[in-house]
Structures are given as structure tokens and as C-alpha cells.
Amino acid sequence: MLFITMYAKIISRRLDEHFGPLIPPEQHGFRPGRSVNTAIPVLLQAVRERLAVPRTPLYVVYIDFTKAFDTIPRNHVLRSLDELGLSPGPLLRLIRSVLAENYVKLNDGLQLSNVITQNTGVLQGDTLSPMLFILSTISLINRLQTACPTTKLIMYADDLIVYAHSIEGVQAALNELDSWCQTSGLQVNASKSKAMKFRRGGPYKRTDNLLFQGSPIEFVHEYTYLGLIIPSNAKGFTNHIRSRCIKALRACYAIRNPRALSLKTALELFRLKVEPIAIYGIKYAWETLTLTSLEHLDSVKASFLKRTMSIARNSPNRLVYLLADTQQLTIDIMKSLSLPLTENMRKHVAILETKQINVEMDFFFTPGMNQNAWKESNSPMRHVTTRYSIHGFHHLICKTKRFHDADDIPAYVKCVVCLVLGRTTSWNARAEQDL
């Protein structure tokens, strides 16, 4: 297996030396200095520049190739290399041997299948296959640019976007794509390909229709491009943040028994495993994030800390962050990624500061704030210390199970401790009375 991997790398490197300069800049996949972080900004910049002018929409179509790497005809790959100028020799013979027709049988543990002939597609999991696919689609990029000069495109490996100021320009590009597919053998899944009309607002026109091979392309209000959920106004990435937070919370719960970890290790694990999931694409959405989205991001870290510190999920986040002696996630990423202090972020920070100012002074004298033993790994008293510091223990007899201050609930449901103590009794005194 190691030999095959090295073999593929050598061939890929040789192909890059020969044809790397011929790969158009519109291709962002598997290229040095290019990635999703160069493809996404190109699209967003084009959209925002267009929307800066009133009543000037931008039409975008996201093309979905049907199992591109698995179905690309091998003869098209070899023909593309020939058109690019790969002369007969050892390199071409090596590539022909890699793309030669092969035969496989499948064993499901019960029986052996008949012989299956493979003569389409390129192997996946090595560095050679992306290079061969990219070289095979150079002709597509060049053809679209020549035939449709008003239409622009972005490719990331097999992810293709075409966009233009007019719907006629996009339709012309789809017609050229159809013609190229007929000669190359690749297929487009029209039902999974989607169109968007980026605009400030307003309904669709009756002429807003796109077809590919006679099948209509559905217009959508948002689309997930390279992991970023982009709305039709290119701002207010609320759904993207919500989606990232849900995935980050799943990653949090995939960490088993974080209570056994030291607090320092848990925070580092969060930074390495969970934070990248939560903040994916954040720099493209940062300046348009709402207060609600910022709160959702902070709640991810707070939720992880509550599990780590063995405290109730409805405990106040401000107390959780103070106990852990760490900053909110939004503040962390703003500093680490050097993101600007937006107006909504300024309001968010002001709200956080106000909540911390309103924390009762006695909280800062609790054991959780003044002892560090509970922060070590496998601390048997962690849950006792943290819960004592957060809310004491009268919740064990109180009729109101959610976190509350003594006078925040109606008198008819207050327990004796709540009635006796009220807000005038100190934090520690309440905890001592509970005990």
C-alpha cells in the first residue's frame, strides 16, 4: 500500500511539473496556495459587489456532477492528456497502466460475485486521482470562458459554479456544459443542481427559469457551498451558525466522560476538536452575525464546560465561565482570527460585562473560585465544589427545580429555605443553611 501511494505521488508530481501552469486560476481544488478559503471569497465578493448596485441581481448555478470521480471515462482522461501535449513516453505508459481496464470480485462473506469490469472512474484516496480529474476538466473551463465571456465560474475539484449578471448568460453556460458533457462522458444531476438569484429582496420574475438537458434547475433561497450555508442576500448567516453549533454540540457529546479530565486538558480538547467545527466559515459571516448567533456560539462552549464541571445545564453561563476562568468562544475566536469588533459584537460584549458585574460578590469567595484541586483530573469532589459554588444545595428540597434566585418565583411555590433566606442573605450563608 505504501508503494502504491508513493507511486501515485511521483506521477502526480510529474504531471504537475508538466501541466501545472496550464491549470486555470478558476480551479481551486488540490492546488498549491488554493483551497476553500480562496474559492468562497471569490463568490462572496462577486455577490456583494453586485448587490451594492440597486436592482442588479446575480444569477448563480451550483452544478452537481453525478459521481464525478467514479464515472469519468478513462479514455477521456487519456484524451485530455494528449490534447494538453503529453508526448508518448514512460510517464504516459505509467498513466495508461494505472487507468487500464481492471476486474474485481466482491465477497460479502457468503459468496463471491461474478467478475466486474472497471473501465470508468479514477481511484480515490491518493494524490493522482484529483490531478487527473483536474487536468481532464481544463477543457471545460476554457470552453466556458471562450463561448460565454460574460459568464464566470469557480471550480473546486468537481464542484462547479457558474454565475452571470443575466439569466441568459447562465443559460448559455449551461448549454455549453451540456455539449461538453456529451463529448467527455461526465453527467450532471439536474435534480441536485441548484440555482440562486442573489438580490436585496423581491419576488422572482416569470422569466427566472433555467434548464439543463430539458430539466428545470430549482431556484433555492440558500445553498451549502463547500460547507458554508449562503443565503440569497449574502448576509445574516443565521442558519449557517445554527448548523455549525448543532454539529459542534454533537462533537462535544462524542467526548466521553469529560468530567474525568483536568479542566486544562478539557479546554485544550475543546479547542482542538470542537472549536474548528463551530467556527468553520466564521470569517465570511462574522461582520453580519446577529446577537442571537453570537449567543449560540458562546452556548456551545458553555455547554461543554457544564458537562466537564458536572453542573446543571440550566446554570447561568456567566458563572460557568467565571468558574472555569476562561473567555467566551466569540471573544476567543475574535482574538485568534484577528476579526474586527463589529457593532453587534460590541453590544454582545457589553451584555456579557453587565451580567458579570451583576454577579453577587459572595460568589467570588466560594470554594470553586478559590480552590484548584477540583480542576485536576479524576477529582472526586469536582461536582460537590462546582455545584456548591453555583447554587448551593437547597435545590434538593426546593419545589422549583430550575436555577433561580430566592425571590424570582411566586411565594406559593417557594420552599422554606427560599422564604427564610430571600435575596438579603449572602451566597455562602444560603449554602450553609442548605447543608
**pTM of this structure:** 0.86
Sign, CA torsion 356/358/362/366: negative
One digit per residue, the tens of pLDDT, for the chain of length 435 reads 556 778 888 899 999 999 999 999 999 999 999 999 999 999 999 999 999 998 899 999 999 999 999 999 999 999 999 999 998 899 999 899 888 888 888 888 888 988 888 888 887 778 899 999 999 999 999 999 999 999 999 999 999 999 999 999 999 999 999 999 999 999 999 999 999 999 988 889 999 999 999 999 999 999 999 999 999 999 889 999 999 999 999 999 999 999 999 999 999 999 999 999 999 999 999 999 999 999 999 999 999 999 999 998 989 999 999 999 999 999 999 999 999 999 999 999 999 999 999 998 888 999 999 999 999 999 999 998 998 888 766 555 565 656 555 556 555 445 555 555 444 344 444 444 444
- Residue 195 phi, psi dihedral angles, 5° rounding: -120, 150
* Rounded distance between C-alpha atoms, residue 290 and residue 276, angstroms: 20
Single-letter amino acid code for the residue at 220: V
Helix (H, G, I), strand (E, B) or coil at 241: helix
Contact assessment for residue 279 and residue 237, using Cβ atoms and an 8 Å cutoff: no
